Amino acid sequence: MATQSIKPMVAGNWKMNGTTANLKEPRLLAGMLRGVKLKCDVMVCPPATLIRRVKAVMKGSMIKAGGQDCHAAVSGAHTGDISADMLKDAGATAVIVGHSERRTNHKETDAMVAAKAQAAHKAGINAIICIGETLDERKGGKTLEVLTSQIKASVPAGCTAANTVIAYEPVWAIGTGLTPTVAEIAEAHAHIRKELSAVMAEEGAKTRILYGGSVKPTNAVELMGIANVNGALVGGASLKAVDFIGIIKAYI
């Protein structure tokens, strides 16, 4: 399948930012997108405490809400954690798993990420599985090798193009203002596409591969135009509706 036929997605990851005072942003976003014919899906992933309220202020729009992480278990003695079922109950249709901040700050392994993705699927929500190399790995010429091993170990059985999105996020590009070159992103995404076909068979060719790492309104058109880039996972620039819409405009 030609990747042009894949419907792109622009997802915003608010990280640990946002209280009720910030609900004006998704309200504004929904207002700005009213009546606009979008060629992509749009998702906002606020802190879990806000999912239900973000959904409420975006009511009537096509924008979806997602979670930022989930536990692999359905329920139990896991103080402070949240399950995929709970996210679904709050209104999420997807959850980000394996973000590099989780992999680094919480020592999450590929196996843990795969278990979380399976938990999401079991709950009936989609998994946005993040992968990406560190700066040392890129400098050491190991980028493609790292991506291969992350895909093999973080993308579990049962992943389909309908229930899974892959986000390629070079760790060194997240929140730094740095981005790989167009050629580097094209190489990484082509490699991910090939490896996805190895682990997901024909579903791999249809699966969305988002690019994430310092996507801004000023570079979105260029980045979203790269082969095998099927949208963006956006951190900082998703917090303000005007910036987020500036990125979404790449698909209007």
List active site positions.
Answer: 99, 169
Q: How far is CA 108 from the centre of its chain?
A: 17
Q: Based on the shown chain and the rule CB under 6 A, indicate whether residue 68 belongs to the binding site for ligand PEP.
A: no
Rounded to a whole number of angstroms, the minimum distance from the CB of residue 114 to ligand PEP is 19
Q: Based on the shown chain and the rule CB under 6 A, indicate whether residue 218 belongs to the binding site for ligand PEP.
A: no
Q: Based on the shown chain and the rule CB under 6 A, indicate whether residue 233 belongs to the binding site for ligand PEP.
A: yes
Rounded to a whole number of angstroms, the minimum distance from the CB of residue 79 to ligand PEP is 25
Please give the backbone phi and psi of residue 7, each rounded to the nearest 5 degrees, phi first.
-75, 120
**Candidate segments 49-57, 80-88, 189-197, 230-238, binder of ligand PEP by CB under 6 A:** 230-238
Q: Which of 108, 169, 195, 243 binds ligand PEP (CB under 6 A)?
A: 169
Q: Based on the shown chain and the rule CB under 6 A, indicate whether residue 110 belongs to the binding site for ligand PEP.
A: no
Q: Based on the shown chain and the rule CB under 6 A, indicate whether residue 212 belongs to the binding site for ligand PEP.
A: yes
Beta-bridge partners for 212: 233
Rounded to a whole number of angstroms, the minimum distance from the CB of residue 2 to ligand PEP is 26
What is the footprint of ligand PEP within residues 3-22 (CB under 6 A)? 13
Rounded to a whole number of angstroms, the minimum distance from the CB of residue 68 to ligand PEP is 9
Q: How far apart are CA 30 and CA 34, in angstroms?
A: 6
Q: Which of 3, 214, 228, 230 binds ligand PEP (CB under 6 A)?
A: 214
- Residue 74: which of 82, 65, 83 has the closest Cα? 83
Q: How far apart are CA 248 and CA 76, in angstroms?
A: 39
Q: How far apart are CA 86 and CA 240, in angstroms?
A: 26
Spell out where the chain has E strands. 9-13, 41-45, 64-67, 94-97, 126-131, 164-168, 208-212, 231-234
Tokens 């994430």 appear where? Answer: 212
Q: Which of 204, 235, 243, 245 binds ligand PEP (CB under 6 A)?
A: 235
Nearer to ligand PEP, 65 or 215 (CB): 215
Rounded to a whole number of angstroms, the minimum distance from the CB of residue 130 to ligand PEP is 7
Tokens of 146: 């790292």
Nearer to ligand PEP, 92 or 233 (CB): 233
- Residue 66: which of 120, 131, 29 has the closest Cα? 120
Helices 143-154 and 110-123, axial angle in degrees (round to 10) = 40
Binding site for ligand PEP (CB under 6 A): 13, 169, 174-175, 212-215, 233-237
